[in-house]
Amino acid sequence: MTTSAELGLPALTVAPGGVATTTLTVRNDLDIVEAYTLEVVGDCAAWTTVEPARVSLYPGTSETVTVRLAPPRSPAARAGEFPLGIRVLPTEHPELVTVPETTVTVTPFHELQAALAPRRRRGWLRGRYRASVRNLGNAPGTVVLTPGQAGEELRFRVTPERLRLEPGESGELRLQARARKLIWFGKPASWPFEVTVGPEQAATAKDTNGETAAAGSTESKGSDGKGGPAPAEALAVVQRPVLDGEFIQLPIFPKWLLALLAALLALLLAWFALVRPAVRSSAKQAAEQAVAQQSATPAPSAAAPGGASTAPGGNPGGNPGGQGKPGAGQPSSGGRATGPGLAEPGTGRQSSATVDVQTANSASSTGSYQVPHGKVFDITDIVVANFQGDQGLLTITAGKQTITTIALETFRNQDYHWVTPIQVPEDQAVTATVTCESPGTPASGKQAATCHELLNVSGALSDIRQGN
Lateral strand order in the sheet of 429-438: 364-370, 429-438, 391-398, 401-407
Average pLDDT, the chain: 79
> What are the residue ranges of CATH 2.60.40.2310 in the chain?
112-201+234-249
Calpha distance 139→80 (Å, rounded): 9
* Chain centroid, CA 390 distance in Å: 41
Q: What are 212-229's pLDDT values in tens digits?
A: 333 333 333 333 333 333
Q: What are 348-396's pLDDT values in tens digits?
A: 788 899 999 999 989 999 999 999 988 898 999 999 999 899 999 999 9
Q: Are 415 and 461 in contact (CB under 8 A)?
A: no
Q: Are 327 and 372 in contact (CB under 8 A)?
A: no
Lateral strand order in the sheet of 413-424: 335-338, 350-360, 450-463, 375-385, 413-424
Q: Give the pLDDT of residue 248.
A: 92
Q: How confident is the model at residue 415 (pLDDT cuts 50, 70, 90)?
A: very high
Percent helix, strand and coil across the chain, each to the nearest 5: 10, 50, 40
**Domain 3-106: assigned CATH number:** 2.60.40.10
Q: How confident is the model at residue 230 (pLDDT cuts 50, 70, 90)?
A: very low
* SS3 assignment, position 295: helix
Which CATH architecture best describes the domain 112-201+234-249?
Answer: Sandwich (2.60)
pLDDT over threshold 90, residue 345: no
Total-model pTM: 0.46
Q: How confident is the model at residue 309 (pLDDT cuts 50, 70, 90)?
A: very low
Within 10 Å of residue 78's Cβ, how many Cβ atoms? 19
Q: Give the pLDDT of residue 266.
A: 87
Calpha distance 87→3 (Å, rounded): 12
> What are the residue ranges of CATH 2.60.40.10 in the chain?
3-106
Q: What is the CA radius of gyration of the chain?
A: 54
User: Residues 6 or more apart from 22 whose CB is under 8 A from it?
Assistant: 7, 8, 9, 12, 66, 67, 69, 102
CA distances from 21 to 36, 38, 292, 387 (A): 21, 16, 126, 111
